[in-house]
Amino acid sequence: MALPVVLAGAGAMGRAWLAAIAADPAVELTGVADLDLGTARRAAPGLPVGTDVVALAAQTGARAVIDVTVPEAHHPVTTAALLAGLPVLGEKPAADTLARALSLCAASEVSGQLFMVSQSRRWNPRLFRLRAMTARLGGVASAGTDFFRAPHFGGFREQMAQPLLTDMAVHAFDAARFVLAAEPVEVSCRTWNPSWSWYAGDACAAAVFEMTGGARYVYHGSWCTPGSETSWNGMWRINGEHGTATWDGENEPAGPAADEPAGPAVDGPVPPYEGIAGALRVFADALATGTTPMGEIHENVPSLAMVEAAIHSSDRGRPVTIGEVLDDAYAQAVTGEQHPDVRAALRGWPSARDRLGLG
Ligand SMILES: NC(=O)c1ccc[n+]([C@@H]2O[C@H](COP(=O)([O-])OP(=O)(O)OC[C@H]3O[C@@H](n4cnc5c(N)ncnc54)[C@H](O)[C@@H]3O)[C@@H](O)[C@H]2O)c1
């Protein structure tokens, strides 16, 4: 039987999710919530609409929520859904701050409900193959992503303090953790905004991360540099002991073939689906089977920690460790938590680093 779901947020990306839901027989849409009821009605004519996703789920018999609201609404919308007993598949970023993402980890623990973040760019068969090639390189000296595009979105991105890092680089950071099978340790980052930028915040960034195992991950990107644009996944190069792997973000990656004896292969299953359709299918399968999917909130948080650490490094003009960023976010999460059970769950952690396995 198809899983009945409600969608929260019927903006640009919400409409892409409506198409993905319609195309997947494993899920069935029962209603659309948006603060703007006209937007909800236009997105799904004839279906029940509302401004409160939990009330709409109760009214329509939905058993899960897809949260595609703006980043600052992710925490309140997802918390309300989880605590009402509804599992959530949410758009990236997990929350607008790392502290609120930690609160969502605890809300998931308290409610016993799955909260999976849809890092849509992880669900890409070519990224899985790049990961397998990377494992054959032996030691990795460095990996890099160049990301250069010039989109005019309007809306919330043009008002954010760090639009490139917060809204876009989180995809590349998340993919880097996956490709390198490593976690971030420390970052040095600079962000800036060229005179011609149409963004209020910094649309350019250069960041060097130290990863567990010693590899460096180098991200260089801009959202306001027209000409020779890269793909939305960026241009990748991984430099290893026994060779190099490259990927243009669109076509097949190039690197050591499967029979080259360079290192342990980690081929694993390559998913037959990609993007948000992949995330949706994995979420529905996880609920049906009780398995924990990639993108589960605790697993996703280090990607957001990379964003916040990079921003702090740029603001403070010095390298910043992931550990210090997590410690600060944890203290803020405990102090700022409104819900007593969620606060108690947070207080029960030895530390955020330990809870996330990044000790
Ligand atoms: N994975 C990707 O490639 C990708 C691409 C684009 C956007 N996104 C993400 O999708 C999310 C939405 O982005 P968008 O471009 O659609 O934004 P948008 O501004 O076009 O739409 C967001 C919608 O959410 C609604 N909303 C806000 N608060 C709400 C609440 N509390 N309850 C219900 N509805 C609420 C707004 O009214 C609006 O209609 C963001 O988190 C963004 O980062 C992901």
Q: What string of H, E and C letters represents the secondary structure of the chain?
A: CCEEEEEECCCHHHHHHHHHHHHCCCEEEEEEECCCHHHHHHHCCCCCEECCHHHHHHHHCCCEEEECCCHHHHHHHHHHHHHCCCCEEEECCCCCCHHHHHHHHHHHHHHCCCEEEECHHHCCHHHHHHHHHHHCCCCEEEEEEEEECCCCCCHHHHCCCCHHHHHHHHHHHHHHHHHHCCCEEEEEEEEECCCCCCCCCCCEEEEEEEECCCCEEEEEEECCCCCCCCCCCCEEEEEECCCEEEECCCCCCECCCCCCCCCCCCCCCCCCCCHHHHHHHHHHHHHHHCCCCCCEHHHHHHHHHHHHHHHHHHHHCCCEEHHHHHHHHHHHHHHHCCCHHHHHHHHCCCCHHHHCCCC
Is 243 a pocket residue for ligand 1 (Cβ < 6 Å)?
no
Residue nearest to atom 6 of ligand 1 (CA): 13
Q: Is the pLDDT of residue 4 over 80?
A: yes
Residue nearest to atom 7 of ligand 1 (CA): 13
With cut-offs at 50, 70 and 90, classify the pLDDT of residue 359: confident
Provide the pLDDT for residue 256: 78
Provide the pLDDT for residue 15: 96
Mean pLDDT over the full length of the chain: 94
Q: Is the pLDDT of residue 196 over 70?
A: yes
Is 39 a pocket residue for ligand 1 (Cβ < 6 Å)?
yes
With cut-offs at 50, 70 and 90, classify the pLDDT of residue 262: very low
Provide the pLDDT for residue 269: 56
C-alpha 155 to ligand 1 mean position (Å): 10
Query: What confidence tens digit (pLDDT) does each residue in 176-189 have?
Result: 999 999 999 999 99
Query: What confidence tens digit (pLDDT) does each residue in 44-97 have?
Result: 999 999 999 999 999 999 999 999 999 999 999 999 999 999 999 999 999 999
Is 249 a pocket residue for ligand 1 (Cβ < 6 Å)?
no
Is 167 a pocket residue for ligand 1 (Cβ < 6 Å)?
yes
Percent of the chain with pLDDT over 90: 91
C-alpha 207 to ligand 1 mean position (Å): 27
Please give the domain boundaries of the chain with CATH numbers for all domains: 3-121+275-296+323-355 (3.40.50.720), 125-247 (3.30.360.10)
Query: What confidence tens digit (pLDDT) does each residue in 204-219 have?
Result: 999 999 999 999 999 9
Is 36 a pocket residue for ligand 1 (Cβ < 6 Å)?
yes
